[in-house]
Structure formats: structure tokens, C-alpha cells
Amino acid sequence: MPAIADTLRKLNPWHKGKYSRTLPQCLTLDPRHAAPPPPPITTRAAYGLLILYALSYFIPFYLSRTTRPSPTLSRDAPSVIRARIRSVTLSCLACTGVTYVVLCRAGTTGGGAGGPKTTPLEALHLLGLWPAALWDSLRVLLLTATLFAGPLFSYLVVERGWADWVRLAPVREVWEEWTTWRNIIAGPVTEEILFRTASIPLMLLAQTTPTTTIFLTPIIFGLAHVHHFYEFRLTHPRVPAAAALLRSVFQLGYTTLFGAYATFLFLRTGSLLAVCAVHAFCNCMGLPQVWGRVEPLPVLAGGDVGEDEGHGDRDGRRQQQGGGGNGGRPSILWTVAYYALLVAGAVLWYRNLWVLSESGNALVPGSAFSRAASAWKIGVGVE
């Protein structure tokens, strides 16, 4: 089989990182080879495996009565959620196992076909499992939080979310509500394992360019959510088909966009933990409000803001917003502050994207992003 030194010659980690000192020669670029041999798998084969992985994630939902929704059984029923979590966990373990075997058998770590095989540690690094990169995870989580500066202000200050956190209500909700557990923990973890850990290393083996990996593989991630259209039609038969289809197209758009962002972070940090944390945070925050006034949640009879509204369902909370707890329309300053922070956060995210996502555990070399990063830094005035 071709040597991994040949198949991954363009995929050396960042040269200044801690982990790069322990990586084998299989991930380094050897300029002496003018005509590298073909990769161990083709891009088409890699995409084929990705499609099979995606199908294995949601097709089992419709093979059993315990996971198959119906007009009388919602996907949000606790029994359905538990059964689906078991199903996707098995799918993730199987797909990750297949990718691990492919990584270990695709080639050797030496310069020739007779060199030593890829070690388990090297394979775990390509899977984003080792090292865990806790500091890098915190950095990209901070980066993503700047993009949500406005929504964080709206939730913590305007909607008095800080009071929820003082009581640890969001933490209790994750453990007590199956829908919240699915949206914040099980969903992000299993999706990132399948669509990043099990999928991206295959694209690296196929020597697919980072740009193609970032912008094309998330389409499969987005299409894996299209089955929600069928489930929505089952539980909302009175909603016009055109409106339901438009809802699914919109969901396909933003899930694909997030998939591109998560893939970028995975390549930059080499950490499953990092993309899981970002995914959970984005699910928790929901889509930012981009029009209308920002108002506090209505105060209920007991004087508290509705506690049973999920922390991870901020869009649902907004829909129930009224005129505030003091009986009058809240000040327009809340709205001004929100949109100012929304714009400022987007600018900060843009200016710090390359800085805060840089990691010594990256799965691609600095040169793969150097040209784009240089243009980016020049554009934002970073030395």
C-alpha cells in the first residue's frame, strides 16, 4: 500500500505546535518528491463513505416503531429520544471504527512501503481525539461567543438569564429534560463525531484541499437534516407544504453554513472537544435576532420569568415576549444596545478568527491557510 508519507505529504501539523514534535514523518511535506503517488483513497470514495455515514445516522430512525415518528408519536417524546440516542451512538461508534481502520491500514509512516504502520496515537490525532486540546477548545468557544455578543446580552441582561444561572436552572434542565439533553449534549456530540471525527480524516487521506473539505463536506451534514421535513409534515399536517418546504430549505442553509464553520475549526484545532463545545453553544443560543425590538420576557403571576421555557430554546422564549414586567413598553435603549453589540461582536469575530483558532494540534499545515490568513490579517490590519 502507498506510504502515508506519500498520501499525507501535504498535511503536516503546525510546525510551532507542541504536538508536532512527536508526530511521525507520515504527516510532513517532503519537497524532494516531484510527483507524489496517488492517495490511498479517492475523493469520490471518501464522499461515498460520508454519504453512507450520514445515511447510517438517520435511516435507522424509520426502521423501528420505537424511533419512527407518526401523527400520534412526536420526535420529542422521551421514549423516541432515548431510542434515537442509542441508535446514533451505535452508528457513530461503527463509523468512527471504520475510519480508524482505514487510517491505520492506508499506508506506512516511513518513506517506503516497508516502513512502520501508522500508530494508534497518530490515528487518534487525525480523528481529533488526542490530544483533547482543552485550551484550544476554550479559545474557539470564546471566538464563537463574540459572534453572539448581542444574543448573550439579550439573554443574560434583557431576559434576566443571569438569574437562571444563579439558580443553576439551565444545568438542571439539561439533566431533567430529554429534549434539552438531546439538543445540547447528545445531538452536538454525536453529529460532530460522525461528521467531523469519522469524516474529515477520510478527506485528508484523499488529499482533498482544505477549501473543498470546508465548503463541500458540510453539504452532506446539512442534507442529513432534511428528514426533519417529513417529520414536521407528520406532526403539523395543517401547515402548507410550501411553508414546510421553505422551513426545511432554510434549515439546510444554516446547518450547512455551521457545518463549514465547524469543519474549519476542526481542521484548525484538531480537537473533537472544541467543535462539540461550539456546536452545543450554538444550539443553546439559537439564531440571532436580526430585526424587531428587544424586550424582556413577561413576568408571570409569581413574579418570576417563566422558568419552564428551555434555555436552549431562545427562539421559543422570544415568541412569548410581551410588554415586560413593569406594565409598560421597555426602553428603546435595550434594542440599541443589542444591535450595537451584535455588530461589534461580528467585527471582533472577523478580526480574531485566525488568531483564536490557531493551534499546535492542527490537522493541516499552516501553509494550507497561510495565503488566506495573510490576506485576512492584512484586511483587518493585524500585524
Tens digit of each residue's pLDDT (9 = 90 or more) over 66-88: 999 888 888 999 999 999 999 99
Q: Is the pLDDT of residue 180 over 80?
A: yes
Nearest to 246 by CA among 257, 235, 233, 256: 233
Q: How many CB atoms lie within 10 A of CB 229?
A: 17
Q: What is the pLDDT of residue 373?
A: 59
The pLDDT of 120-126, averaged and rounded, is 93
Q: Is 273 helix (H, G, I), strand (E, B) or coil?
A: helix
The pLDDT of 29-57, averaged and rounded, is 82
Question: What is the CA angle 354-357-358, rounded to 5?
Answer: 80
Q: Is the pLDDT of residue 165 over 50?
A: yes
Question: If pLDDT is split at 50, 70 and 90, which confidence band does 8 have?
Answer: very low
The larger pLDDT score, comparing residue 44 to residue 108, is at 44
Digit-coded pLDDT (tens) for 86-100: 999 999 999 999 999
Q: What is the pLDDT of residue 370?
A: 64
Q: Is the pLDDT of residue 312 over 60?
A: no
The pLDDT of 142-168, averaged and rounded, is 96
The pLDDT of 357-363, averaged and rounded, is 94
Digit-coded pLDDT (tens) for 211-266: 999 999 999 999 888 888 999 988 888 999 999 999 999 999 999 999 999 999 99
The larger pLDDT score, comparing residue 316 to residue 206, is at 206
- What proportion of the chain, given as a percentage, has pLDDT over 90? 63
The pLDDT of 345-373, averaged and rounded, is 87
Q: What is the pLDDT of residue 24?
A: 43
Q: Is the pLDDT of residue 298 over 70?
A: no
Predicted model pTM: 0.82
The pLDDT of 309-314, averaged and rounded, is 46
Residue 358 falls in the annotated catalytic set: no
- What proportion of the chain, given as a percentage, has pLDDT over 70? 75
- Which spans in 71-160 are helix H? 78-105, 120-126, 134-147, 149-153
Cα–Cα dist 166/7, whole Å: 52
Cα–Cα dist 169/213, whole Å: 39
370: its cell numbers: 497561510
Residue 225 falls in the annotated catalytic set: yes
Q: Are 198 and 124 in contact (CB under 8 A)?
A: no
Q: What is the pLDDT of residue 70?
A: 86
Cα–Cα dist 223/358, whole Å: 29
The pLDDT of 190-202, averaged and rounded, is 97
Q: What is the pLDDT of residue 382?
A: 53
- Count CA atoms within 13 Å of residue 323 on its CB side: 4
Question: If pLDDT is split at 50, 70 and 90, which confidence band does 119 have?
Answer: confident
Reading phi first (left if > 0) and then psi (alpha if -120 to 50, else beta), residue 358 is in: beta
- Check 173, 191, 295, 358 and give the catalytic one: 191
Q: Is 198 helix (H, G, I), strand (E, B) or coil?
A: coil
The larger pLDDT score, comparing residue 110 to residue 179, is at 179
Q: What is the pLDDT of residue 331?
A: 80
Question: Would you call 127 exposed, middle or buried from its count of C-beta atoms within 10 A (0-12, 13-18, 19+)?
Answer: buried
The pLDDT of 326-338, averaged and rounded, is 78
Question: If pLDDT is split at 50, 70 and 90, which confidence band does 105 have?
Answer: confident
Which range (48-52, 192-196, 362-366) has the least confidence? 362-366
Cα–Cα dist 370/358, whole Å: 11
- Torsions phi, psi for 292 (to 5 deg): 85, 170
3-state DSSP helix/strand/coil % of the chain, to nearest 5: 65, 0, 35
- Check 122, 192, 225, 311 and give the catalytic one: 225
Question: If pLDDT is split at 50, 70 and 90, which confidence band does 11 have?
Answer: very low
